[in-house]
Structure 1
Amino acid sequence: MVHTPPLHDVVILGGGLAGLTLALQLKQRDPDIRILVLERRALPAPEAAHKVGESSVEIGAHYFDKVLGLGDHLQNKQLRKFGFRFFFSEGRRDIDQVTEIGASRFLSVTSFQIDRGIFENFLGAEVQHRGIELIEGAMVRQIELTDDQTGPDARHQVVYEHEGVSHTVNARWVVDACGRAGLLKRKLNLAEPNGHAAHAVWFRIKDRIHLDQWSDNIEWRERCNPQARWLSTNHLVGAGYWVWLIPLASGSHSVGIVADPAIHPLAAMDSFDKAMTWLERYQPLLFDELDPKRELLQDFAFFKRFSYGCKQVFSADRWALTGEAGLFLDPFYSPGSDFIAISNTYITELIAMDRRGERLGARAQIFDQLFHSFYDSTMALYQDQYPLFGDPEVLPVKVIWDYTYYWGVLAQFFFHQRLTDLSVLASLRTELAECQQLNVAVQNFLRQWSTLSLKRNPAVMLDQAAIPWFAELNRSLNDDLDTEGFVARIRGSHTQLQRLATDILQRAQSDHPGLKADELVLLLPASMLDGGPSDMARMLPEAVN
């Protein structure tokens, strides 16, 4: 008798964050779909799991909460995030006497600090509860992609080993979610370097880091209501690097150093002892906090060059890559879960189309182009920008710009479920292209500005919650828009970015009249350049002076 391997609609290689959330999204879209998830590890994962990616931002949090319906877990088992917060504290122990960027209160859209061990254990139980087959301790040994994609019976083949026994399964779709192992990426020669050279070291301490207690200054402590700075993703910044502090629901704290190797070589921080010596010099307050707790160290890891691209992530030949199996940007602004949400949404749409018998060729190509466009747009926020991270005059302006670009464009598309709406995307083609060009020009301009900046570091808090248009932009993500309203929203964001870019240009040139901005000026309407300050500009100085 000939044994026929079992057939699954989708085999997902990897049962981490990307693979498990994709399985849930696919099952939610189509309850009859047959999914197999192959995970190399044996669950449960340890709490304070040894991973980068604990901090979520608006898109990722919305995906976990509203799209996948996991809000109860997030609210009850994870920590609500108090936004991003930045301190220009290099070499200083008087944190109350340096510039702080952050909000004094929670903004409208919720995000979370996610303990990946707790979350992935929950996701593993949830996929099985929803009838998805998850095999732990499975080692994928071979993937055979069929060349024949014409018929309804076309299938790929996956061979895996489990408890010493080899198994073969057939799959209509194969999705690589195995992280940096990149099984499909290596098989198909899809790896692609990018121009962003940066490294990271990180570790966990089995204790809370209560940053709010780093000063006895009552006025400084009461700037935030509630006094919960420790719940923020705190950034201690300097030229060429930033240090993250992320609290975890398990009671641990995650600490990371991310740096430009041209300024801060990896060799200076690639062990815990070296990292502590580095912190003693550059961020002594954090060193003071950690030095008595060395025995509470839970783990330590580093990546020499963490950022990379991928030639293709979605294919009409019924394979795809998601999460770190495909692309990875930079942990600054925590975009990892955002790009999982976006890629999983495109994959879910392609698989749904396939199950309806629709042709995939053009749609898969367009989705791949869109995803790479989002990647390229976001990469502009990081590439060659690390030198200005220690600039207390320019980085606050960059943060306002970067948030405005993110909340005003990409987050709007995700929150309002327009990522796969090609007719809307086509109608906004001009505005989206101009937003992308403007973002690149502003990033270049900020870099030039920082070369002239005096880098003044006054003892002020630049309160993002006190900027009405900025807080409203965050709140607007929760609106319910029809197609006409959504198109108007993106066109409004396009105009808003033009106005903000004009204000930034005029602000910088008021301090530095000789500052060149030819690239930026060409992208801005003459009426804005010739006019006076906008309503946005009257608020901007409160955030950046």
Structure 2
Amino acid sequence: MAHHDVVILGGGLAGLTLALQLKQRMPALNVLVLERRTHPLPEAAHKVGESSVEIQAHHLANVLGLKDYLDQRQLRKFGFRFFWSDGAPDLTQVTELGASTFLPTASYQLDRGILENDLAGMVQALGVQHQDGALVREFTLGARGAQHHVRYERDGVTHEATADWLVDASGRAGLVKRKLDLAQLNDHAAHAVWFRIDRRVDVADWTDDPEWLARCNPPNRWLSTNHLVGAGYWAWLIPLASGSHSVGIVADPALHPLESMNTFDKAMDWFQVHQPQLYADLDAKRDGLQDFAFFKRFSYGCKKVWSGNDRWALTGEAGLFLDPFYSPGGDFIAISNTFVTEMIAKDRAKAPVGMLAPMYERIYFSLYEAMLPIYTGQYPIFHSAEVMPLKVLWDYTFYWGVMCQLFFQNKLVDVQTMARLQPDLAWTHRLNVAVQDFLRAFSEVDDGARPRRMLDQASLPWFAEMNRGLTDVLDEPQFGARLEANLQLLHQLAAQLMDRALLAHPQLPTQALRTVMAERQAAPALIDLLFPEPALATA
């Protein structure tokens, strides 16, 4: 029976990047990865989770050292882009939100088949034992330092292994979660359907309007994660390096039941009503359909994600999942893998990881709880081309200004710093909840207008600078100053959002938001942080 320092159940994105991070940190570590699927994996039609954002991109490019690989083998993402195009016959005549040019800090569109095939080769080159086509038949968890035992089958032969650490990276199969009854529902009940088409879907092909086409430089909107939005839903268009395009619908079941879209033909009927130009494009490409799948309720929490005393952990979707709207799945893989790597390294150094693990878990859950209000109950806002751009601006600022700072500056595993920051982080959480509630109330009185205009994120200097500054390497005083400045910015942005809404709707409830804002003082912003009013925006 072979013994390993670490056995990872699941060799998808979470498991392979964890194996790579572990071996880069501890080259002598003996790691076994058990992956159910047989390699090589199919390109394109493999898994969702194809659009990365800044935390995951930083983790892949800089923590794992894959920047050159990403530039050569994947696609640089042209940011998120939004069109308020529900039922619209012409995309050029509605509101567009996005950047007219690439923002400085890179993120990527990830063909998961290509990426996971390549990652498997990378970890094997570092000495990881990567067993594909391996079916885990049984495992027992050791307690208080006792070894874990795994029995698996490969090519019809049964194998057994023991491990000091057992990490569940099995995704929604949730092997350890099921065994220990750790599953936990949350209040976000959205569902998703998706498929891949074997050729590009380019919104620029839907028009010959020269002014609209010239808005972006480069004019490659197809490289964006394009969101086509309406009340209670959004549809995604994500390009893949293999040449395929990923297409999906994510919806609130109260407004768009899963039964109305849970086959390809039903999804196409739904597109014909809600996104007619996309329907026409896809209708001509039906012969290129590569797959179709759906999740009834994709968002969930977890009661516990690791134990330092018993040396087991969950990472990625084996633990929890939020929502695909801002593509946080890869971020939480990066964050959980970083915690797990730190715990294993501390354990091997004989540090008291049993005391450390609960602190890391509280930090991890606090990030999940801080981000969940961005999605829960917010899908009805999506129809509003006035409110939703303000929400996107707020959500980005919250993410770049707080979460990204903690990860990019490697503060999440610094328990002393995180303890010191707890009051500030708790305030940002309360402020975020209050802003989300206020925006929801604002959307309920919005008139639904979606004028032809481009809301250009790159035209907001403060916004572009916040993106650029993500890659700054900060010492401790600089980090403290940066975080304080970002908290001030969030306060100022909340004030301007509220003032903008009250100009048109003075009856909106503001007490809850004002109460949270009053907990901290902030000088008024010296500039207008928002996009121009609709009448002043560029056509």
TM-score (norm 1): 0.96
Give the residue type in structure 2 aligned to 1:254.
S
Map of 1:152-231 to 2, 5 A cutoff? 154-231=146-223
Cα distance between partner residues in 1 of 2:44 and 2:361:
33
The partner residue of 1:91 within 82, 87, 93 is: 87
User: What is the CA distance between 1:540 and its match in structure 2?
Assistant: 3.8
User: What is the CA distance between 1:280 and its match in structure 2?
Assistant: 0.3
Give the residue type in structure 1 aligned to 2:241.
A
Map of 1:369-380 to 2, 5 A cutoff? 369-380=362-373
User: What is the CA distance between 1:539 and its match in structure 2?
Assistant: 4.5
SS at match of 1:428: helix
Cα distance between partner residues in 2 of 1:105 and 1:230:
13
SS at match of 1:535: coil
Say whether 1:70 aligns with 2:63.
Answer: no
The partner residue of 2:424 within 431, 445, 451 is: 431
**Alpha carbons of 1:526 and 1:197: their partners in 2 closer, same or farther (altered >3 Å)?**
closer
Cα distance between partner residues in 1 of 2:138 and 2:520:
61
Cα distance between partner residues in 1 of 2:239 and 2:102:
17
The partner residue of 2:262 within 270, 282, 288 is: 270
Cα distance between partner residues in 1 of 2:74 and 2:520:
48
Cα distance between partner residues in 2 of 1:115 and 1:427:
40
SS at match of 2:517: coil
CA-to-aligned-CA distance 1:303-360 (integer Å, 9 cap, x gap): 1111111111121110000111110111101111100000000000000000001111
Give the residue type in structure 2 aligned to 1:188.
L
8 Å contact kept, 2:45–2:290: no
The partner residue of 1:61 within 57, 63, 67 is: 57
Which runs of 5 or more structure 2 residues have no equivalent in the other structure? none
The partner residue of 1:510 within 503, 509, 513 is: 503
User: What is the CA distance between 1:197 and its match in structure 2?
Assistant: 0.4
Say whether 1:306 aligns with 2:298.
Answer: yes
8 Å contact kept, 2:152–2:158: yes
The partner residue of 2:392 within 389, 395, 399 is: 399
User: What is the CA distance between 1:7 and its match in structure 2?
Assistant: 1.4
Give the residue type in structure 1 aligned to 2:173.
A
Q: Tell me how many residue pairs correspond in the alignment.
A: 535
Say whether 1:485 aligns with 2:478.
Answer: yes
Which runs of 5 or more structure 1 residues have no equivalent in the other structure? none
Cα distance between partner residues in 2 of 1:287 and 1:22:
39
Say whether 1:126 aligns with 2:122.
Answer: yes
Cα distance between partner residues in 2 of 1:419 and 1:477:
15
Give the residue type in structure 2 aligned to 1:115.
D
8 Å contact kept, 2:169–2:316: yes
Say whether 1:80 aligns with 2:79.
Answer: no
Cα distance between partner residues in 2 of 1:219 and 1:286:
21
Cα distance between partner residues in 2 of 1:155 and 1:123:
28
Aligned position for 1:519: 512
Cα distance between partner residues in 2 of 1:423 and 1:81:
35
8 Å contact kept, 1:502–1:528: no
8 Å contact kept, 1:462–1:542: no
SS at match of 1:33: coil
Cα distance between partner residues in 1 of 2:121 and 2:519:
57
SS at match of 2:254: coil
Cα distance between partner residues in 2 of 1:300 and 1:142:
30
The partner residue of 1:459 within 446, 452, 461 is: 452
Aligned position for 1:294: 286
Moved more, 382-391 or 138-147: 138-147
Give the residue type in structure 1 aligned to 2:502.
Q
Aligned position for 1:114: 110
8 Å contact kept, 1:85–1:234: yes
What's the % identity of the aligned pairs?
58
The partner residue of 1:537 within 519, 528, 539 is: 528
Cα distance between partner residues in 2 of 1:480 and 1:331:
29
The partner residue of 1:33 within 18, 29, 35 is: 29
User: What is the CA distance between 1:410 and its match in structure 2?
Assistant: 0.4
Moved more, 90-99 or 233-242: 90-99
Cα distance between partner residues in 2 of 1:148 and 1:248:
45
User: What is the CA distance between 1:49 and its match in structure 2?
Assistant: 3.1
Cα distance between partner residues in 2 of 1:72 and 1:147:
42
User: What is the CA distance between 1:502 and its match in structure 2?
Assistant: 0.7
Cα distance between partner residues in 2 of 1:247 and 1:527:
43
SS at match of 1:462: strand
SS at match of 1:256: strand
Aligned position for 1:251: 243
CA-to-aligned-CA distance 1:407-428 (integer Å, 9 cap, x gap): 0000111111111111211222
Aligned position for 1:353: 346
Cα distance between partner residues in 2 of 1:71 and 1:63:
10
Cα distance between partner residues in 1 of 2:92 and 2:518:
41
SS at match of 2:430: helix
Say whether 1:16 aligns with 2:12.
Answer: yes
Give the residue type in structure 2 aligned to 1:202.
W
SS at match of 1:537: coil
**Alpha carbons of 1:391 and 1:258: their partners in 2 closer, same or farther (altered >3 Å)?**
same
TM-score (norm 2): 0.97
Cα distance between partner residues in 1 of 2:236 and 2:48:
11
User: What is the CA distance between 1:389 and its match in structure 2?
Assistant: 0.6
Cα distance between partner residues in 1 of 2:23 and 2:143:
27
User: What is the CA distance between 1:523 and its match in structure 2?
Assistant: 1.1
Give the residue type in structure 2 aligned to 1:541.
P
Cα distance between partner residues in 2 of 1:100 and 1:528:
34
8 Å contact kept, 2:370–2:429: yes
8 Å contact kept, 1:211–1:230: yes
User: What is the CA distance between 1:542 and its match in structure 2?
Assistant: 6.1
**Alpha carbons of 1:521 and 1:173: their partners in 2 closer, same or farther (altered >3 Å)?**
same
Cα distance between partner residues in 1 of 2:415 and 2:351:
16
